[in-house]
């Protein structure tokens, strides 16, 4: 009974924490970008103000698929959060492990693709094709990285990976896995969709891409989905390479460090073209991740 209550509380607390951290990251990214540009920047609560404003507006609807796709992508992201250990809070992570996360990670982009495809805007179609191309670009190195980790620790469970790392040291400082860690860091901006790889939502080229027809509450939901996506990308790195954490506070601090690294890259780099992005993603991170996988297999832990 006691464990049942705890389990239910964890199921409720984990998405809520993820949402809070994701929205905080959205605000932080605007503030840090502003400080790097020598501006004062918006208040850190600006995304919350925006979401309140958007939820109180009423915008055009583009049919059933528009709504369903948006809800699908939000639900996919929420489900991934339940499978990610967040400090000791790990509601479902002992029942699925890495393989479930790999499957579920496709639902987010796919839902947005269905939804904005239904809006029948040419800019949205270009954005969706870029989004799927980009996810094809980073899925290859990402799969190689995950394979290396799973081979090295002989497990597919995230909680076991975290506990092994807490016993023997972080994966990013152990020899063969450091290559995988570097490869993951190199594809992290693409997974978060920030500046060198901001090809999907490029506001100046294709009018913010898939989000071009989203207004009012739809844009608010899409913003929440983006917040979840930020949380998922960063917390996967913390779990896989920085050894998770003993409690949510340390976990948050580690996430903050990783996310700030991404922000610094975001604030100073221009945007790549989609072909340059794919060429980069399939060349350097894939090569390093592949070398890491080979080394892990050869050294055979």
Partner 1 sequence: MGHKYSLNVVYFCTGCGIIEVPPSITARWDAERFGIIPVATPRQANLFLITGYVSVKTLRAIIRTYEQMPEPKYTVGFGSCPINGGMYFDSYNTIKHLDKYIPVDGMIAGCMPRPEAIFIGVTHLWTLIDKDMADGYKRYRRNYSAYRANQERVLGKLEWPPLFPAPGEE
Nearest to 144 by CA among 301, 275, 284: 284
Q: Which stretch binds partner 1 (CB under 8 A): 11-19, 56-64, 141-149, 241-249?
A: 56-64
Partners of residue 89 on adjacent β-strands: 86
Nearest to 66 by CA among 128, 22, 23: 128
Residues numbered 113-152 forming contacts with partner 1, rule: CB under 8 A = none
Residues numbered 210-229 forming contacts with partner 1, rule: CB under 8 A = 211-216, 219
**CB under 8 Å to 222, separation ≥6 — which residues?**
70, 112, 211, 214
CB of residue 2 to partner 1, shortest distance in Å: 42
Contact between 52 and partner 1 per CB under 8 A: yes
CB of residue 201 to partner 1, shortest distance in Å: 9
Q: Which is nearer to partner 1, 42 or 248 (CB)?
A: 42
Tokens of 59: 């915008």
Q: Angle formed by the axes of helices 274-299 and 175-192, to 10°?
A: 160
Cβ-based neighbour number of residue 3 at 10 Å: 7
Q: 72 and 117 in contact (C-beta within 8 Å)?
A: no
Q: Which is nearer to partner 1, 176 or 209 (CB)?
A: 209
Choose which of 57, 166, 168, 276 interacts with partner 1 (CB under 8 A): 57
CB of residue 184 to partner 1, shortest distance in Å: 31
Tokens of 27: 């605000």
Q: 260 and 54 in contact (C-beta within 8 Å)?
A: no
**Contact code string over 192-211 relative to partner 1, x by CB under 8 A:** -----------xx--xx--x
Contact between 59 and partner 1 per CB under 8 A: yes
Q: Which stretch binds partner 1 (CB under 8 A): 18-26, 39-47, 162-170, 238-246?
A: 39-47
Q: Which is nearer to partner 1, 215 or 248 (CB)?
A: 215
Q: 134 and 92 in contact (C-beta within 8 Å)?
A: no
Applying CB under 8 A, which residues contact partner 1?
30, 34, 37-43, 46, 49-50, 52-53, 56-60, 203-204, 207-208, 211-216, 219
């Amino acid at each position: 009974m006691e464990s049942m209550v705890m389990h239910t509380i964890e199921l409720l607390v984990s998405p809520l924490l993820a949402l809070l951290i994701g929205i905080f990251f959205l605000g932080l990214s605007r503030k840090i970008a502003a400080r790097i540009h020598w501006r004062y920047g918006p208040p850190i609560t600006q995304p919350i103000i925006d979401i309140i404003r958007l939820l109180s507006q009423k915008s055009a609807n583009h049919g059933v698929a528009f709504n369903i796709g948006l809800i699908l992508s939000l639900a996919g992201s929420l489900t991934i959060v339940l499978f990610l250990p967040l400090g000791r809070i790990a509601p479902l992570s002992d029942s699925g492990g890495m393989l479930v996360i790999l499957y579920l990670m496709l639902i987010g982009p796919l839902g947005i693709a269905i939804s904005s495809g239904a809006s029948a805007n040419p800019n949205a179609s270009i954005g969706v094709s870029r989004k799927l191309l980009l996810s094809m670009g980073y899925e290859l190195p990402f799969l190689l990285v995950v394979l290396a980790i799973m081979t090295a620790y002989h497990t597919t469970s995230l909680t076991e990976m975290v506990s092994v790392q807490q016993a023997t040291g972080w994966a990013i400082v152990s020899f063969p896995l450091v290559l995988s860690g570097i490869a993951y860091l190199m594809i992290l901006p693409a997974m978060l969709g920030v500046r060198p790889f901001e090809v999907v939502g490029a506001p100046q080229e294709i009018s913010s891409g898939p989000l071009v027809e989203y207004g009012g509450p739809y844009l608010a939901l899409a913003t929440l989905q983006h917040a979840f996506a930020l949380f998922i990308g960063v917390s996967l790195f913390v779990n896989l390479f920085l050894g998770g954490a003993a409690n949510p506070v340390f976990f948050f601090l580690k996430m903050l460090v990783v996310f700030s690294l991404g922000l610094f890259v975001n604030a100073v780099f221009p945007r790549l073209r989609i072909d340059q992005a794919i060429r980069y993603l399939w060349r350097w991170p894939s090569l390093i991740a592949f070398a890491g996988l080979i080394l892990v297999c050869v050294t055979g832990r």
